Amino acid sequence: MSVTQQQVLDSLARIKSPRGVALTNANVLSPISASDGKVFFSINVDAAEARAWEPIRGEAEAAVRSLPGVTTVLVALTAERKPGSAPPPAPSRGAPGVQPVHAHKPPQGGGSPMARQSEIPGVAAVIAVASGKGGVGKSTTALNLALGLRDLGLKVGLLDADIYGPSVPRLTGLRDKPELDGERKMIPLRRFGLAIMSIGFLVEEETAMIWRGPMVMSAVTQMLRDVAWGQLDVLVVDMPPGTGDAQLTLAQNVPLKGAVIVSTPQDLSLIDARRGLAMFRKVNVPVLGIVENMSYFQCPHCGTKSDIFGHGGARHEAEKLGVPFLGEIPLHMAIRATSDAGNPVVDSEPDGPHAAIYRAIAGQVRDQLRGVIAAA
Ligand code: ADP
């Protein structure tokens, strides 16, 4: 039988806050999401007390995990800054007055916010795939890019951090819940030779939709660090669309070695792409380049190309902005159909023209990361 909210609350009532009050009476718990054995909630505390709360977050997670019927637990610690109080140490421009908290203490570093991040043991390079807005094919590109990198002989993982609309379960056909290893880390699911983790494996989509920026950050931090990624050359992170505060916080807090920006040729999304570029530059993440998706329409019957969106804008824009242009992916039925059926085109049609395009993009990404991968 699945665990109920009441059972979760009963187990939390036995845990004490740093001031000795039962967690359930400390006025810090978010609503508890408990469905199908998957439990998610956050503990929202004053930033000044965040350090003292971290072990309690761990205790709460362990207590819920030990309940019968619980398969997955995610407990996020978020810190609310009281008006007028000193800012907490975590670097962030999250929602006003609200700061995410690292689940793990980052190493102390100087000046740049990036210096405060810790690497993920065993993972040589974490890269982001981002877009200025939704629906441009960011997730499709992230997965096929990961597969292209795999085809180049690299060990690759994919983290779906698109908390507002996790599409990796659909794109990969994976629906299982991750199991825990001996160290109680989540074991990523494996498909197509990739290690794959998605927030969609843990919570219902509707739950994710209502998360606030800091909860997103905390959940993503846990998915990066509480997952047994193993040895990876590249971990591709499918970012939430947009360039708002949540994205900036994420870009700032995840130890990124680079970012790929996906854009369609329309002017509007190019403006959005420019914002994406500015966002990564602001947090000193190198932009590995721009991919133009749905670049031209390719007829599935005769193969004729039509530039229905004014093709070539992204290449021109990339040149103007001084970032590499990684390639053009056509708008093609085969890409949509394979994506939406959980059989990404690089894997299902490895000898086709689309796979070749994604592999060429992957080659350029690999070349830019070569130093990092080789060093690892
Ligand atoms: P995003 O992550 O930007 O929201 P998705 O990757 O989920 O976008 O793609 C949105 C839709 O567009 C999906 O149905 C996907 O199959 C389709 N799609 C993405 N790229 C292409 C392409 N190059 N050709 C045809 N359809 C595509």
H/E stretch holding 190 reads strand 189-191
For ligand 1, whether the C-beta of 335 sits within 6 Å is yes
Question: How far is the C-alpha of 177 from the C-alpha of 188, rounded, in Å?
Answer: 9
User: Which ligand 1 atom is at minimum distance from the Cα of 329?
Assistant: 23
Q: What are phi and psi of 53, to 5 degrees?
A: -85, -20
Rounded to the nearest angstrom, the distance between the alpha carbon of 294 and the centre of ligand 1 is 8
Name the closest-CA residue to atom 24, ligand 1.
Answer: 331
Give me the architecture of the 5-101 domain, per CATH. Answer: 2-Layer Sandwich (3.30)
**pLDDT in the model for residue 112:** 39
Q: What is the pLDDT, as a whole number, of residue 237? A: 95
45 secondary structure, DSSP code? E
Residues of the chain with pLDDT under 50: 82-116
Residue 74 has a pLDDT of 83
Please tell me the predicted confidence (pLDDT) of residue 97: 31
SS3 of 238, please? strand
Closest CA to 99 of 42, 48, 47: 47
Burial of 187: CB neighbours in 10 Å, binned 0-12, 13-18, 19+: middle
Residue 339 Cβ contacting ligand 1 at under 6 Å: yes
What tokens were used for 360?
Answer: 């060429």
Write down the pLDDT at residue 352.
94
- Predicted pLDDT at 227: 92
List, in order, residues 6 or more apart from 162 with CB less than 8 Å away: 138, 139, 168, 199, 238, 239, 240, 241
**Residue 364 Cβ < 6 Å to ligand 1:** no
Kindly state the DSSP code that residue 160 receives in the 8-state scheme. Answer: E
C-alpha 215, offset from chain centre: 13
- Whether 298 is in the pocket of ligand 1, judged by its Cβ within 6 Å, is no
Q: How far is the CA of 138 from the centre of ligand 1 (A)?
A: 7
Query: From the CB of 332, is ligand 1 less than 6 Å away?
Result: yes
Nearest ligand 1 atom, CA 330: 23
Q: Global pTM?
A: 0.75
CB count in 10 Å sphere of residue 292: 29
Task: For residue 166, give Cα distances in angstroms to 18, 39, 139, 292.
Answer: 35, 17, 9, 22
The closest residue, in CA terms, to atom 22 on ligand 1 is 331
Q: Where in the chain is the domain with CATH 3.40.50.300?
A: 123-375
Top mutation candidate among 133, 140, 294, 358 for ligand 1, by most atoms within 8 Å of CB: 140
CATH 3.30.300.130 placement within the chain: 5-101
CA–CA dist 136, 290 (Å, integer): 13
Q: Determine whether domain 123-375 maps to CATH 1.10.1670.10.
A: no
- Which residues are within 8 A (CB) of 353 and not within 5 positions of it... i.e. 6 or more apart? none
Residue entry with tokens 């966002």: 279
Would you tell me the crossing angle of helices 333-340 and 138-151 to the nearest 10 degrees? 90
How far away, in angstroms, is 157 Cα from ligand 1 center? 20
The residue among 283, 275, 163 whose CA lies nearest residue 212 is 163
> One-letter amino acid identity for 15?
I
